[in-house]
Amino acid sequence: MTYADSSASSASTRAVPQTSPLPADYVTLNPLMLRTRARPTEAASGLGGRVLVGLAALVLVGAGLWAMLASQSFYSVIATYPPYSRHFVHDLGAFQLGLGGSLALALFMTDALLVVLGANAMAGAAHFISHVVDRDLGGQPSDPLTIGLFALLLVGLTVWRARRVLEPERG
């Protein structure tokens, strides 16, 4: 008996013996978009590893929120690289939110593309907020619009992928 993904062509599906420790539905895509089977790492699958990943996510999200909501305080305590720039601290916070979000999403989702799109959408939305809040500090007048449109694209791609992953397969 072999494990086979019903959506893969027979040419790209590799037979795995029944004695394999992998469940039948454990299929991932590598960067070349070839179907492969992968074993979850001990750090990602064990309770201790998941707790550490969760703590790292909390630290990053917490730091990101701190930088976004209290940029002067964050700069004074953490990011003491002169000169102070509220906007750059806000941008730093936006991207820390995305990094923390990626770790948090990875704890609950197994689809790598959905995790990456979701994290990028979080960072993109926070970056858009940063540019709206700081539009009086400089930059291009079109920055909020262009960054907002890109964030919207990322959110749309996340929703698209979530629907593809979560909808039942059509036969």
Residue 44 pLDDT grade (very low, low, confident, very high; cuts 50, 70, 90): low
DSSP secondary structure letter of residue 169? P
pLDDT at 6: 41
Would the pLDDT of 30 be above 50?
no
Q: Contact at 8 Å (CB) between 158 and 117? A: yes
% residues pLDDT > 90 (the chain):
64
Closest CA to 95 of 73, 79, 111: 79
pLDDT at 15: 52
Residue 166 pLDDT grade (very low, low, confident, very high; cuts 50, 70, 90): confident
Strands 35-36 vs 28-29: parallel, antiparallel or unpaired: antiparallel
Q: What angle do CA 116, 62, 154 make, to 5 degrees?
A: 25
pTM comes to 0.71
Poorest-confidence range of 31-35, 73-77, 103-107, 163-167?
A: 31-35
pLDDT at 86: 95
Q: Contact at 8 Å (CB) between 118 and 158? A: yes
